[in-house]
Amino acid sequence: MARRKSGPGIDAQPDTGPDFDPEWCERIRGKLVEWYETAHRDLPWRASRDPYRILVSETMLVQTTVTAVVPFFERFITRFPTIRDLANADEADVLKAWEGLGYYRRARQLHAAGQAIVRDHGGVIPDDPDALRALPGVGRYIAGAILSFAFNIPAPILEANTQRVMARWLAWPDDIKSTRSQARLWEAATRVVPTRDPATFNQAFMELGALVCIPRNPMCLTCPVATECRARELGLQDRLPVATPKAAPLEMSEAAIVVVENGRVLMLRRKPGVLWEGFWEFPTVHRDGPDPARRLIDGCVSTEATLEATMGLSLQVGPVVSSLNYVVTKHKVRMDVHFAIKDSGDLKPGPGHVEARWVDRDEFEQLTRSSATRRAVAALLKAGVLTSEGEWGVLAPRKSR
Ligand code: SF4
């Protein structure tokens, strides 16, 4: 492969590197595993080599921290103790158990993977890389984790922590997300994983990234493999890995309307094929933003007119009782929460929804709710305009001006 100048002023050399030296690989393995024996954390999914627990935990850990995942993992495994329990569950129950963890596509894919394992593999998670990667949501990393952790097969792993560590070990100067970089880092991860006890090595590799070789200010002074690290040798540990900055999120604003009637609240279920598919939310007016399908209906100049046009209900919408900000995909959203009461009209789900329902507090708790809806409820409870045990509508809405 051709060499070229890139990154922080050093050559990108895909055909050389410490991983080409078998003695370097051997030293890295020995030092890392020795350190891991005493430094590792006790995590619930490390207690066994059950491939199902590994599939669940690694799916949860994609784009989510260990600390955040631990309580969700334990609840999920209690609710669905085996792959068959997961496969036989309704998708709504799986999403409910996932509620609060975010990135719900992972939950749907995990559910689909469970069904495929029961249907195509007799309920036994395969130990074959191709069969694993054919499962919904199982990419090269999750397949590597299952193969090495559960079956002790020397498969490489590369996720956020280990790709950072590897880029530093190699002093790899290109954008870490580029195709070229990914190919080079996977190649090195394949070379470094040992045939003897790859499970412990891969766990140690990840643990180093989580505890020592952290994104900012890596702890090189106490690092067990500092003498093997090219970034440290070159003084580049704070400048690697190279990553293209993310684009700034697009700003949007919306109004969530808590419509109350006879102690029940109006909830809408989102239609298939949209973000938060199947989740329940308060009627929401999207005041602006880049998605035309989510903007105010043409010709409607107020929240009331928009809701009447979309849902067939005439409402009295009160002033803002709480505001919150949240980030979803590439959007930074400001949500104003209002109470409202119904004046007249027959309820129908608007565009974007398949079902509309009046629910009491008990029913509300059973619904799988979008994170924005859960945040809105938390804001109302915090603001004291909704009691945790009382009915909806403790604050009488006033006519908006
Ligand atoms: S020496 Fe520093 S940069 Fe290198 S692996 Fe250790 S912590 Fe990371």
Residue to substitute in 31, 227, 232, 239 for testing ligand 1 pocket (most ligand atoms within 8 angstroms of CB): 232
Share of the chain above pLDDT 90, in %: 50
Q: Quote the pLDDT of residue 401.
A: 36
Q: What is the mean pLDDT of the chain?
A: 86
Residue to substitute in 24, 217, 223, 227 for testing ligand 1 pocket (most ligand atoms within 8 angstroms of CB): 223
Mean per-residue pLDDT, 116-120: 97
CA dist., res. 180 & res. 184, Å (int): 6
Task: Name the residue among 45, 62, 59 with its Cα closest to residue 117.
Answer: 59
Q: Quote the pLDDT of residue 153.
A: 97
Residues 6 or more apart whose CB falls under 8 angstroms from that of 294 comprise 286, 352
Mean per-residue pLDDT, 151-157: 96
Nearest-atom number in ligand 1 for the CA of 164 is 8
Nearest-atom number in ligand 1 for the CA of 219 is 7
**How remote is the CA of residue 233 from the centroid of ligand 1, in Å?**
10
Which residue's CA lies nearest to atom 4 of ligand 1? 229
Residue 98 has pLDDT above 50, yes or no: yes
**How remote is the CA of residue 230 from the centroid of ligand 1, in Å?**
9
The domain segmentation of the chain, as residue ranges, is 4-234, 250-383
Mean per-residue pLDDT, 308-315: 75
Residue 26 has pLDDT above 60, yes or no: yes
- In this prediction, residue 154 has a pLDDT band, given cuts at 50, 70 and 90, of very high
CA dist., res. 240 & res. 270, Å (int): 42
Nearest-atom number in ligand 1 for the CA of 229 is 4
Which residue's CA lies nearest to atom 3 of ligand 1? 237
Q: Quote the pLDDT of residue 104.
A: 87
Rounded to 10 deg, the angle between the 198-211 and 160-170 helix axes is 90
Model pLDDT for residues 169-187, shown as the tens digit of each residue:
999 999 999 999 999 999 9
Compare 18 and 315 and report the one with higher pLDDT: 18
Q: Quote the pLDDT of residue 294.
A: 43
Secondary structure E strands in 182-239: none
Mean per-residue pLDDT, 108-133: 97
Least confident of 109-123, 126-140, 270-284: 270-284
Query: Phi/psi at 185 (nearest 5 deg)?
Result: -70, -40
Compare 312 and 162 and report the one with higher pLDDT: 162
Please give the CATH number for the structural domain made up of 4-234: 1.10.340.30
Residue 309 has pLDDT above 90, yes or no: no
**How remote is the CA of residue 339 from the centroid of ligand 1, in Å?**
53
Answer whether 153's CB lies under 8 Å from 127's CB. Answer: yes
DSSP per-residue codes, 288-328? E-S-GGGSPPTT--SHHHHHHHHHSEEEEEEEEEEEEEEEE
Residue 143 has pLDDT above 50, yes or no: yes
Residue 287 has pLDDT above 60, yes or no: yes
Model pLDDT for residues 226-254, shown as the tens digit of each residue:
999 999 999 999 999 998 888 888 888 88
Least confident of 2-11, 72-81, 180-189, 291-300: 291-300
Fill in the amino acid letter for 338.
Answer: H
Q: How far apart are the first and last CA of the chain?
A: 68
CA 175, 180, 183: angle at the middle one, nearest 5?
Answer: 115
Q: Quote the pLDDT of residue 364.
A: 86
Model pLDDT for residues 330-353, shown as the tens digit of each residue:
888 888 888 888 777 777 777 778
Range from 126-130, 256-260, 271-275, 367-371 that averages highest in pLDDT: 126-130
Residues 6 or more apart whose CB falls under 8 angstroms from that of 234 comprise 10, 171
Mean per-residue pLDDT, 121-132: 97
**How remote is the CA of residue 300 from the centroid of ligand 1, in Å?**
58
Rounded to 10 deg, the angle between the 91-98 and 66-79 helix axes is 140
Q: Quote the pLDDT of residue 400.
A: 41
Model pLDDT for residues 254-268, shown as the tens digit of each residue:
888 888 887 788 888
Nearest-atom number in ligand 1 for the CA of 237 is 3
Which residue's CA lies nearest to atom 2 of ligand 1? 220
Q: What is the dihedral of CA 234, 240, 242, 243, to 10 degrees?
A: -170
Which residue's CA lies nearest to atom 8 of ligand 1? 213
**How remote is the CA of residue 73 from the centroid of ligand 1, in Å?**
30
Q: Quote the pLDDT of residue 300.
A: 47
Residue 207 has pLDDT above 90, yes or no: yes
58 annotated active-site? yes
Q: Quote the pLDDT of residue 296.
A: 43
Task: Name the residue among 102, 53, 134 with its Cα closest to residue 372.
Answer: 102
* Ligand 1 pocket, residues with Cβ under 6 angstroms: 165, 168, 212-213, 218-220, 223, 225-226, 229, 231-232, 237
**How remote is the CA of residue 28 from the centroid of ligand 1, in Å?**
12
Answer whether 228's CB lies under 8 Å from 24's CB. Answer: yes
- In this prediction, residue 7 has a pLDDT band, given cuts at 50, 70 and 90, of low
Q: Quote the pLDDT of residue 298.
A: 43
Annotated catalytic residue, options 58, 99, 159, 304 = 58
Model pLDDT for residues 65-84, shown as the tens digit of each residue:
899 999 999 999 999 999 99
Q: Quote the pLDDT of residue 9.
A: 58
CA dist., res. 292 & res. 273, Å (int): 16
**How remote is the CA of residue 54 from the centroid of ligand 1, in Å?**
27
Fold of 250-383: Nucleoside Triphosphate Pyrophosphohydrolase (3.90.79)
Nearest-atom number in ligand 1 for the CA of 223 is 6
Residue 398 has pLDDT above 60, yes or no: no
pTM across the whole model: 0.80
Q: Quote the pLDDT of residue 252.
A: 84
CA 364, 369, 371: angle at the middle one, nearest 5?
Answer: 135
